[in-house]
């Protein structure tokens, strides 16, 4: 392994000068710094992480607290893309990531204890039960935390603009002539509440009367439940002209329920999704949905977390809201 001494011999400078140059100290001339950095790259130098950790009191490791209640894990496209973006941004800043859980080789410990055991510099929390006492232990601990799609007063959060996204979808459906609109919401969560608020707000502003029997509670990422709830909506004496699905993946169940009743989309009934996953645009017709900006959500979460770690005195707790955009597919007819 190439050492600082090896680089100092090649460049004809002291070990201290090499260290300062590689760490961006300003008391090294730009010409010398460039020469040292070039030599380090050519020689295949990598910093000794253990030595750097002792010097900076940081491990350059970020914990990821991720538990998908639907059991889909990283096959959940939305969160997989968010975490991939988070990982990419973290690696650009020189950080590794570690997934944190309660079970470590059969040894039970709390998530916070696991974070302490791994000595992570910070934690991002995504897709979990935010009411779990285990989460509150992390939130109330002394490790920097950023949450995704949930707000705690004392922690920075990165939030997709769910309320605005739902308003855009309602407006689109409204402008295409739909007034009898059904809504299948996801499970009880901050995301579901924001989307529901956006739905009702948009309907009230456009004087759309919402039939309470057409507002059903389902679950995110659950096609089977969405199939059953869509079937219930289609059995009524009067059926809606458009159904809002919990998300694009759940919409698979809704589309199957419509097909099994001998109906077609959008000729007989229109359908709207949410998330903008790749699959939604492979359907025929393409699903009208709202694309969440997963790249920006993940990158913003990483930048915010690293800022809290490296600049705690100048980084403040805040809520970062990330907008998406409507994808106009072919699943909504014109009435």
Domains contained in the chain, number? 3
Quick one: average pLDDT of 250-262?
A: 96
- 32, 130: one domain: no
Please check whether residues 119 and 175 belong to one and the same domain.
no
CA distance linking residue 23 with residue 44, whole number of Å: 17
Mean pLDDT of 189-211: 93
Q: Are residues 167 and 269 in the same domain?
A: yes
pLDDT of residue 4: 84
Is residue 12, in this structure, part of any structural domain at all?
yes
Identify whether the C-beta of residue 268 lies closer than 8 Å to the C-beta of residue 255: no
Token pair 């710094």 is found at: 33
Residues 134 and 228 both lie in one domain: no
Q: Do 135 and 205 reside in the same domain of the chain? A: no
96 and 30 housed in the same domain: no
Do residues 135 and 170 share a domain?
A: no
The CA distance from 191 to 194, in Å, is 5
334 inside domain: no
Same structural domain for residues 132 and 10? Answer: no
Q: What is the CATH number of the domain that holds 25?
A: 1.10.260.40
Q: What is the pLDDT of residues 23-36, one digit of tens each?
A: 777 788 888 988 99
**Which domain CATH number covers 168?**
3.40.50.2300
At residue 43, the pLDDT reads 87
Whole-angstrom Cα distance, residue 230 to residue 225? 9
> Does 103 score more than 70 pLDDT?
no
Best CA proximity match to 159, nearest among 137, 189, 184: 189
| 168 shares its domain with 144 | no
Is residue 56 pLDDT above 60, yes or no? no
Q: What is the extent of the structural domain holding 67?
A: 61-160+295-323
The answer to whether position 52 is within a domain reads: no
Please indicate, yes or no, whether residues 38 and 69 belong to a single structural domain of this protein: no
Helix axes 294-310, 77-92, angle to 10 degrees: 40
Residue 330 lies in a domain: no
101-104 own/partner pairs: CB under 8 Å, 24+ apart: 101/67, 102/134
Quick one: 180 and 197 in the same domain?
yes
| pLDDT(134) > 90 | no
Look at residue 166 and tell me whether its pLDDT is greater than 70: yes
Same domain, 88 and 142: yes
For residue 333, being part of any structural domain is answered with no
pLDDT at 153: 84
pLDDT at site 315: 87
Phi, psi dihedral angles at 126 (to 5 degrees): -145, 145
The two structure tokens encoding residue 211 = 């039939």
Q: Which of 41-50, 63-72, 153-162 is predicted with the least confidence, judged by mean pLDDT?
A: 63-72
Rounded average pLDDT over 102-129? 82
**Per-residue pLDDT for 106 more than 90?**
no
pLDDT tens digits, one per residue of 281-325: 999 999 999 999 999 999 999 999 999 999 988 888 999 999 999
Q: Does 69 map to a domain? A: yes
Q: Is residue 331 part of a domain?
A: no
Task: Report, as an integer, the average pLDDT of 151-165.
Answer: 92
* pLDDT for 195 beyond 90: yes
Q: Evaluate if residue 215 carries a pLDDT over 80.
A: yes
């Amino acid at each position: 392994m190439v050492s600082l001494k090896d680089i100092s011999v090649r460049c004809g400078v002291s070990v201290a000068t090499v260290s300062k140059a590689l760490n961006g100290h300003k008391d090294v001339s730009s010409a010398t710094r460039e020469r040292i950095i070039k030599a380090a790259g050519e020689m295949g130098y990598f910093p000794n992480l253990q030595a750097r950790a002792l010097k900076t009191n940081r491990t350059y490791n970020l914990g990821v607290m991720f538990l998908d209640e639907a059991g889909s894990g990283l096959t959940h496209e939305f969160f997989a893309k968010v975490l991939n973006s988070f990982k990419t941004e973290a690696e650009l800043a020189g950080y590794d990531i570690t997934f944190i859980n309660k079970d470590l080789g059969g040894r039970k410990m709390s998530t916070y204890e696991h974070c302490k055991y791994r000595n992570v510099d910070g934690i991002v929390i995504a897709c979990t039960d935010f009411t779990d006492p285990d989460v509150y232990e992390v939130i109330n601990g002394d490790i920097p935390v950023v949450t995704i799609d949930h707000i705690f007063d004392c922690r920075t959060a990165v939030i997709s603009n769910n309320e605005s996204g739902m308003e855009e979808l309602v407006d689109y459906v409204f402008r295409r002539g739909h007034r009898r609109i059904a809504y299948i919401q996801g499970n009880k969560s901050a995301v579901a509440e924001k989307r529901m608020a956006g739905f009702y707000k948009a309907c009230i502003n456009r004087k759309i009367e919402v039939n309470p029997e057409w507002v059903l509670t389902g679950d995110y990422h659950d096609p089977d439940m969405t199939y059953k709830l869509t079937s219930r909506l289609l059995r009524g004496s009067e059926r809606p002209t458009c159904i809002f699905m919990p998300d694009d993946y759940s919409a698979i169940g809704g589309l199957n329920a419509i097909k099994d009743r001998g109906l077609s989309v959008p000729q007989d009934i229109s359908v709207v999704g949410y998330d903008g996953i790749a699959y939604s645009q492979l359907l025929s017709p393409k699903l009208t949905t709202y694309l969440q900006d997963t790249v920006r959500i993940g990158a913003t979460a990483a930048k915010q977390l690293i800022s809290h770690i490296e600049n705690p005195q100048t980084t403040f707790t805040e809520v970062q809201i990330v907008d998406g955009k409507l994808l106009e597919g072919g699943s909504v007819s014109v009435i």
